Structure 1
């Protein structure tokens, strides 16, 4: 039974790092094949080329043009690639913010995901305290984050923290000062 594991959360929370740390351990413990599908790896260069042509800013990931016209196809392609791998029996770890989809409970909707009943789906919401997220975003110096840093007050209005009672399908992972015990507990939950 392949599994589909999402690592979601806002910019700078450590989704990619956490997924890359978890994948080899999950593979070793389960004996399953896994592939890592990180939105930035799959679509980063493509989106930069498109936005450079359309707006003159290859690093634009926050304008209405990007959010309305490019974001959806990126996530659509990400999920199609996951579905193809799952149909071949390969488990997938998908990394991306996916905040709209989390808010709408779409990642818990098998009909929306369009995955077989035997696919085990887990959704991890990775979060940080806001000041730590800001610090990490500034420290990593990714040009795609320039708008966020320059307009933090506007950007932060898009941030949300799912409440456990409202989002029972999520595994909430506080990456602010995550301990080894917290990481091991997450791995155990993902093995189920």
Structure 2
């Protein structure tokens, strides 16, 4: 029974770092291999080329143009790649914001996931206080974050924090103290 684990959350919360930190211990404790699918790794170069052609800014990942033309195809490709691996019996960790999908409770909806067979699904929502996430985004200096930082008031309107009561399918992970909570998260994913 393959596993599908999502690491979701807003920019700067440490989704990728956390997934990479946990993949080794998950493989060691389960004796199983995992495929890591990070949206930025899979589509970063492609999106840069398309956005460069559309807007002249290859680093644009948050403008209305990006959201209208590339967001959905990127996620469709990410999920198709995950499904292909799961069908082969390979465990998959998917890293990406996926905030719209989380809001709509899609990540545990078998009809939306379109996965075959018995797949165990876990969804981790990685979060930080907004000020800390913005600080980390600024410090990492990724050109893809330029639009967010330049239009923070617009960007922040898309930020939300799911509640445990409204989103029981999520494992909420406060990444402001990851060392203390990582072992507990690892056990919950097993």
Q: TM-score, normalised by structure 1?
A: 0.97
CA deviation vs aligned residue, 1:35-81 (integer Å, no higher than 9, x gap) = 00000000001000000011100011112111011000000000000
**1:36-185 matched pairs, under 5 angstroms:** 36-180=36-180, 182-185=181-184
Looking at structure 2, the residues matched to 9 and 171 of structure 1 have their Cα atoms a distance apart, in angstroms, of 11
Return the offset for 1:11. Answer: 0.2
Return the offset for 1:124. Answer: 0.2
**Structure 1 gap ranges (5+):** none
Return the offset for 1:176. Answer: 1.2
**Structure 2 gap ranges (5+):** none
Q: CA RMSD in A?
A: 0.8
Return the offset for 1:179. Answer: 3.0
Looking at structure 2, the residues matched to 185 and 32 of structure 1 have their Cα atoms a distance apart, in angstroms, of 20
CA deviation vs aligned residue, 1:85-131 (integer Å, no higher than 9, x gap) = 00111000000000000000000101100113410000000000111
Return the offset for 1:143. Answer: 0.5
Looking at structure 2, the residues matched to 179 and 49 of structure 1 have their Cα atoms a distance apart, in angstroms, of 37
**1:6-21 matched pairs, under 5 angstroms:** 6-21=6-21
Looking at structure 1, the residues matched to 171 and 12 of structure 2 have their Cα atoms a distance apart, in angstroms, of 18
CA deviation vs aligned residue, 1:167-188 (integer Å, no higher than 9, x gap) = 00000000012233x1001000
Looking at structure 2, the residues matched to 148 and 124 of structure 1 have their Cα atoms a distance apart, in angstroms, of 23
